[in-house]
Every structure is written in structure tokens, then in C-alpha cells.
A and B are shown apart, each in its own frame.
Chain A
Amino acid sequence: MKTLFSRSFIATIVALALLPLVLVNDFLIDVSIRVMLTAIAVIGLNILMGFAGQVSIGHAAFVAAGAYGSAILATHLNINPIISILVAAVGVAIFAWVIAKPILKLKGHSLTMATLGLGIIVNMILINEVNWTGGPDGMPVPPVRIGDFAVIRPLHWYWVAASTLIVSMWLSLNLFDSPAGRALRGLNGSEMAARVMGVDVGSFKTRAFVVSAVFATISGSLTAHYLAFVSPVMASFTHSVELATMVVLGGMASTYGALVGTALLTTLPQLLGGFEDFEMMFFGFILMVTMMFLPMGLVPSIARIIERRRAR
């Protein structure tokens, strides 16, 4: 199990390193950068949803908070984007921790409902605070600079996105097989059992929420600097549902699943091009079909089939 994991991880690194050789044009590079940057947020959301079983349908709020946070700090306060990305992450972490405490005291689906509310509030703030955010039209974002060197070329961005993705995956894979990861998965499997075994359930849910928010923030900040532009669409309910669908389709608690789910749901709409109005229907349909036929999600289901073949 352990060696299989690290083998898959090395294979992922090699694949990401070789991928630019086959990406013949800027369009394909652009799509893969978007996939990788989004996957960072989905890997984080998977820690909350897949590991801990706490569903968030407002995670786009954190992606947007990272995007706008870094954009505003860099534009209005002239802060170096590398620092503004980190400041946004720390700020959102504190914010997520503060709001998680009271929300998680409530029982049942309160977290899901609260994240829905959060998404709507953040979206409204971004649309209304025109002086800071540019309102519904969005705002331009300065490029990331290291000294005199500005990261603008697609291939440079490819390496930034790929290395951040690899680090994110590494963190998530490590967490899965750690005492904290087992505590999170345990409270998902049986909250009663986890409590009796000494797991402070509220604290672990809070920490999973904060960690997933930070992943979303980093993803949002990088995406904003890559696109050189942000708009409130980033915080939309549709985007939140998209992120959650990516987790479910790829496979609950599976880090590779998060990447596969993101890749499929980012590239498929590109192929469907021109059907933009049907996007929401498309995600709803995928979510429904996954729930009906692959309740565990793609990667865990395929892994199980392979395991059974081997066992024979």
C-alpha cells in the first residue's frame, strides 16, 4: 500500500514534468495550468469533504478571497505579489478559524448551510465594493515578480502551477496516512467512535476547515495572478458546486481523485464549447450519475477493480 502510493506519486511528478513536451500549443498549456491551479483548491476541499466528511458548498468564497486579497494588496497597497499571496492565506486562515468555531458548535448540516451563506455574502461584497474590487467588471491583477523577472510566459506559469500542485498533493497524501488524517477520516466514518477514542471532533473539523480554506486561497491567488484579472464569477455558487463536484467525481478522500476530477470537469466543458448556458446542468448531471453508479468516485472505484483483479 505504502510503496504503491509513493510509486503513483513519482509517476505523477514524471507525468507533469514530461507533459509540456506534448502540449504543442499555448491553448493546451493554458488548460493544463488552469487544471493544476484549480486542483490545488480541490485537493484542499477534499481534506474537508473527503477526509472529514464535512460538505462545503461555498468554497469558491475562499478561492475568491485569495484571488481578491492578493490582487487588492498588490494593486492598492503596492505589495510584492509573493508576499500578498502569503498575507491573503494567513488572513483567510484566521477568518476561517473564527467563523468555523461557532458554526461547528451546531449540529447536522449547519456547516454546509453556513458555507452556502458565506459564498453568497462574499460574492455580494465583491460586486458591491466597487472602489476596492472593481465591482461586477472585476479588476486587473499585476504579475508575480521575483526581482526584475516577471512570471508572464505560459511555460513559466506551467512550472509554478505544477510545483505548487506537487507540494499540495504531497501534503495531502502525507496527511491521509497520519494520526491527524485517521482522526479526520475516523470522525467521518463514525463520529461516535472517534469521540470515544479521544478525538476532539470539533477541533479537528475546525482545523480541516482552516486547512482547506488555505489551499483554496493559494489556488485563488495564483489563478488571479496568472489570469492577470479577477471577477466576482470566481466566488459564484456555480463555481462552489463545480469544486464540490470535482471532489465527488474524482473520489472522496482520494488525493489523486481530486486531480482526476478537476482535470475531467475542466476539460470537458472546453470540448462542449458554446454550450456555456448548460454548464450548471452538465455539473448537476455528472454529480447525479456519479452518485448513482460510482458512489465512491472514479479513482477509488478503479483502484478497487484493480485490487480485485490482482487478488484473483
Chain B
Amino acid sequence: MLEVTGLTKRFGGVAAVQNVSFTVRGNTVHSVIGPNGAGKTTLFNLISGVYVPDEGEIRLDGSSITGISPDHLASLGMSRTFQNLQICMNMTACENVMLGAHLHTKSSLMRGMIGGSRRQDAELRDRAVTLMEYVGVGDYAGAHATQLPFGVLKRLEIARALASTPRLLLLDEPAAGLNETETHEVAELIRNIAASGITVVLVEHDMKMVMGISDHILVLDYGKNLAEGTAEEIRHDSRVIEAYLGAD
């Protein structure tokens, strides 16, 4: 579904991502792990169009999406969440999720001004509440974004991404800063999302979670491919153990 070949991104003289290649098959959970500064988030920003790569190619279902803007990628069925939250704090929780469905709405300003989208909006609101319940934050449907605790905001981002009905969902550290119970719930949620037919690419620090839900794992170190394989293979890979524990 997603093919990345020879991807490179430099910031000044430093190559944050260097010649990274991997393939994500449809209907799988594909995780990207690696020590801090390994280039995981940069890789996500490249795939989701936030950064333009210096070299390499990204293909979605066979056609090149290298350098395409994020709003265009959204229309191709890609959505994502952010490690450092990108919630619109000037809106309600529900409105944030409704914003996720932007591409499914008629968003002309004129139509909005004359109230032409009221009926559609009511349906949209119902769907947003359903999605909030699905990710487990249904209790906050009436709240303003500023009133929500961190763990809820994390999941609200997932609900917003789901509102765009993506085929490919990039989750950037969805469990970062969550306690054990919450992490467990998010892992369960990701499993459900994958089971519903959405391909998930996951960047995550929590090893237990990654090992538990991933079909395939890519390990990055210093911006380069270090190892690739199933959870079992990665667990026993000597290079991975070395990179994480510094053993020789």
C-alpha cells in the first residue's frame, strides 16, 4: 500500500533520515521504532507531506506522492495524529472531530453564511460524537478543547483522524505520556482500527505496546534502517539489542 524508497532528509548538514526504505502492506499494523533522535517523527513528517524529502520516493498504491501537500494527501485517504498535540484549542472537542471530516463536507463560505449546511452539520455532529465514543472519550462530547485532560486529547486526535475516513492512518506516539491503563486502552483501540480495515503506521516508544500489536516492525537508528521484521524477529535481533542497550 505504501512504498518508501531511499528516503533522505537533511537539516543543515545533519541527515535526520538517510536512505530509508520500507513497504507497508494493506490491512496491517506497521510500527517504526528506534532510540530518541532516530528520525521517526521526521519520517512521519515526510510521509504525511509536512516536509519535502531531499531524495527518495514515496508511493501510495503505486502512484508517487513525494512532495504532495498534506491537504492533498488527505484527499487520497491519508490521515495522521501528532506527537506534540495539534488540537485546535479555540474549538470544542466535538468541533475538532468535525473538522476531521472537512473533505466530506461542502465547505463553501457562501453556503456556510446562508446556513446551507445545517442539516449536514447535524449528521456530522452525530458522527463525531459516535467517533468520540468509539475512541473512548464520549463523556467529553460537550466539552471545550481547553477543558480536556492530556490523555483525552491524545485520543481526540485519533477520533479526528478517523473522521476523515482514512485508508492509511499514521499515529505518532499515541501512547506517549499516558499511564499504563490508558496505554492498554489505546493499544486495544489501534487493534480495533486495524481490524476495521484501516492500515496503521505507528511510531511508538512503548515497547510492550509495539510488540503486542504490530504485524511488522521497522527499527531506525541514526536515521537509517537498522532492522525489519516481525515482533519475534526484532526481539531477538542482535543489532536492535545493541542499539537499545549499547551492549557489544
B86 touches A192 (CB 8 A): yes
B112 touches A181 (CB 8 A): yes
Tell me the B84-118 residues at the A interface (CB within 8 Å).
Answer: 86-91, 95-96, 98-100, 102-103, 105-109, 111-118
Residues of B within 8 A of A193 (CB): 82, 86-88, 99, 160
Say yes or no for A34: interface residue by CB 8 A criterion: no
CA distance in complex: A178, B113 (Å): 8
- Residue of B74, B86, B106, B113 touching A175 (CB-CB under 8 A): B113
B233 nearest CB across to chain A (Å): 32
Q: Answer whether A196 and B74 are a contact pair too, CB < 8 Å, given A179-B106, A189-B91, A211-B109.
A: yes
- Residue of A179, A188, A192 touching B105 (CB-CB under 8 A): A179
Say yes or no for B23: interface residue by CB 8 A criterion: no
B75 touches A198 (CB 8 A): yes
Contact with B along A159-189 (1 / 0, CB 8 A): 0000000000011101101111111011011
Say yes or no for B50: interface residue by CB 8 A criterion: yes
B113 touches A171 (CB 8 A): yes
Contact with B along A183-210 (1 / 0, CB 8 A): 1011011101111111111000001100
Tell me the B198-214 residues at the A interface (CB within 8 Å).
Answer: none
Residues of B within 8 A of A180 (CB): 107-109, 111-113, 117
Say yes or no for B61: interface residue by CB 8 A criterion: no
Say yes or no for A253: interface residue by CB 8 A criterion: yes
A196 touches B108 (CB 8 A): no
Contact with A along B43-73 (1 / 0, CB 8 A): 0000010100000000000000000011101
- Residue of A170, A188, A201, A207 touching B88 (CB-CB under 8 A): A188
B70 touches A196 (CB 8 A): yes
With most chain A CB atoms within 10 A of its CB, the pick from B82, B89, B111, B112 is B112
A2 nearest CB across to chain B (Å): 9
Say yes or no for B164: interface residue by CB 8 A criterion: yes
Say yes or no for B42: interface residue by CB 8 A criterion: no
With most chain A CB atoms within 10 A of its CB, the pick from B48, B50, B103, B115 is B115
Chain B interface residue count, CB cutoff 8 Å, equals 44
A182 touches B98 (CB 8 A): yes
Q: Please name the residue on chain B nearest to A187 by beta carbon.
A: B88
A197 touches B160 (CB 8 A): yes
Residues of B within 8 A of A171 (CB): 113-114
CA distance in complex: A178, B105 (Å): 9
Say yes or no for B18: interface residue by CB 8 A criterion: no
Say yes or no for B216: interface residue by CB 8 A criterion: no
Q: Please name the residue on chain B nearest to A252 by beta carbon.
A: B90
B102 touches A172 (CB 8 A): no
Q: Please name the residue on chain B nearest to A174 by beta carbon.
A: B115
- Residue of A178, A208, A252 touching B111 (CB-CB under 8 A): A178
A169 nearest CB across to chain B (Å): 11
Q: Please name the residue on chain A nearest to B98 by beta carbon.
A: A182
CA distance in complex: A177, B120 (Å): 11
B99 touches A201 (CB 8 A): no
Say yes or no for B121: interface residue by CB 8 A criterion: yes
Residues of A within 8 A of B113 (CB): 171-172, 174-175, 178, 180, 211
Q: Please name the residue on chain B nearest to A189 by beta carbon.
A: B88
With most chain B CB atoms within 10 A of its CB, the pick from A171, A174, A180, A192 is A180
Say yes or no for B154: interface residue by CB 8 A criterion: no
A183 touches B99 (CB 8 A): yes
A179 touches B112 (CB 8 A): yes
Q: Please name the residue on chain B nearest to A192 by beta carbon.
A: B86
B158 nearest CB across to chain A (Å): 13
CA distance in complex: A293, B80 (Å): 36
B103 touches A198 (CB 8 A): yes
With most chain B CB atoms within 10 A of its CB, the pick from A171, A180, A193 is A193
Contact with B along A250-268 (1 / 0, CB 8 A): 0011000000000000000
Residues of A within 8 A of B41 (CB): none
A251 nearest CB across to chain B (Å): 11
CA distance in complex: A211, B112 (Å): 12
With most chain A CB atoms within 10 A of its CB, the pick from B79, B86, B111 is B86
**Shortest Cβ-Cβ A-B pairs, 6 listed:** A189-B88, A178-B112, A198-B74, A179-B105, A180-B112, A193-B86
Name 7 extra pairs, CB < 8 A, besides A174-B114, A192-B50.
A175-B113, A177-B118, A179-B102, A179-B107, A180-B108, A180-B113, A182-B102
Instruction: Please list 18 pairs of residues, one from A and one from B, whose beta carbons are closer than 8 Å in the complex, sorted by A's number.
Output: A175-B109, A182-B98, A183-B107, A185-B88, A185-B90, A189-B87, A189-B90, A189-B91, A192-B86, A196-B73, A196-B74, A197-B71, A197-B103, A197-B160, A198-B102, A199-B102, A201-B71, A207-B109
